Amino acid sequence: MIRDLFSKKKKYATIPSEQAKQEVPEGLMTKCPQCKSIMYIKELRKNQMVCDQCGYHHRVTSSERIAITLDEGSFEEFDAEMISKDPLQFPEYADKSAKDREKTGLNEAIITGKGTIEGMGVVIGVMDPRFRMGSMGSVVGEKMSRAIQRAVDERKPFIMFAASGGARMQEGVFSLMQMAKTSTALNRLHEEGLLFISVMTHPTTGGVSASFASLGDINLAEPQALIGFAGRRIIEQTIRQKLPDDFQTAEFLLKHGQLDQVVARKEMKKTLQNIIDIHRPAHTGIKED
């Protein structure tokens, strides 16, 4: 009986766009795409957007990610008002970016800033796949590079939550070169002996997976996140055979030695805290008895 009621309700729900389908529809309740159980959105949010029945990790926005990662009220954003140009005068690009800005309230596909995790200072970057699929163009590269420089200046660890379809096609080689730019910036961090933790979330693919996201001193991923270089369809066309179901999931990468750990969202803050603690510069060496 009660099921019928919900399915009926679903019929009348309007889904505004393709993109919105992947997010939790506005409303009171939602259905888990994995175990199909119905739950209150409010409860789901309280549970960090993780299904309490099956552990499925729903997408979180960049601001939600910051809220569940950093200490409350500690976040200070950098370069919030930087927006992309249209260096190639690429058809529809300016319009699409403007629409994404309006729809998501974000200025670009990344938020950067600083804050604390259990009182320890960090510089953080969080990508948001709602904006141009989280693709990396000039702004993503520039904001990251500036954030990394801040980490160097303030001698803080840098944490990056990747979520991206790859390089942004509409900025052509400018986008491609952001792979080099972010890697070059990370080399500076590396030379300074500072910590970089890369957290790959769903999805981390293409030029983002093949640059900064793979360069953590510690590489972590959320369960079931899609991570890979080439798209599944392209690979299937190339090798003309079906790929295993778990291909390019976080678990697949762990098995193939590409990740340090797969960490559930609810364990993430604690895990980050432990890593940062172990890398604190204050250690004085083991003392004699």
Partner 1 sequence: MAEQLPFEKPIIELRNKISELKTFTLEKEIDLSGEIEKLETRLEQLEEDIYGNMGGWERVQIARHSQRPTTMDYIERIFTNFMELHGDRFYGDDEAIVGGIAKFEGEPVTVIGHQRGKGTKENLRRNFGMPHPEGYRKALRLMKQAEKFKRPVICFIDTKGAYPGQSAEERGQSEAIAKNLISMAGLKTPIICIVIGEGGSGGALALGVGDRIYMLENSTYSVISPEGAAALLWKDSGQAKRAAETMKITAPDLKELNLIDDVIPEIRGGAHRNVDTQAGYIRQTLKTALLEMSKYDSGELVNKRYEKFNNIGEFDHVNGVMPAE
Binding region for partner 1 (CB under 8 A): 81-85, 87-88, 90-91, 107, 138-139, 141-142, 145-146, 149, 167-169, 171-181, 183-188, 190-191, 206-207, 209-215, 227-231, 234-235, 238-239, 243, 247-248, 256-258
Cβ proximity to partner 1: between 173 and 264 the closer is 173
Nearer to partner 1, 45 or 232 (CB): 232
What is the residue whose two structure tokens read 């949010």? 45
CA Rg, the chain, in Å?
Answer: 20
Question: Residue 69 CB, nearest distance to partner 1 (Å)?
Answer: 23
Q: What is the C-alpha separation between 264 and 48, in angstroms, rounded?
A: 11
State both tokens at 277: 């603690």
For residue 105 the two structure tokens come to 């309230």
Backbone region of residue 55 per phi and psi (left: phi > 0; alpha: psi in -120 to 50; beta: other values):
left
The nearer residue to partner 1, 157 or 171, going by C-beta atoms, is: 171
Q: Tokens 């172990």 identify what position?
A: 278
Q: How far is the CB of 53 from partner 1 (least distance, A)?
A: 31
Nearest approach in angstroms of CB 285 to partner 1 is 29
Nearer to partner 1, 49 or 213 (CB): 213
Q: How far is the CB of 135 from partner 1 (least distance, A)?
A: 10
Phi/psi for 149 (5° steps) reads -65, -40
Tokens of 61: 């926005």
Residue 69 or 198 having the CB closest to partner 1 = 198
CB of 220 closer than 8 Å to CB of 259: yes
Distance of alpha carbon 52 from alpha carbon 168, whole angstroms: 35
Q: How far is the CB of 81 from partner 1 (least distance, A)?
A: 4
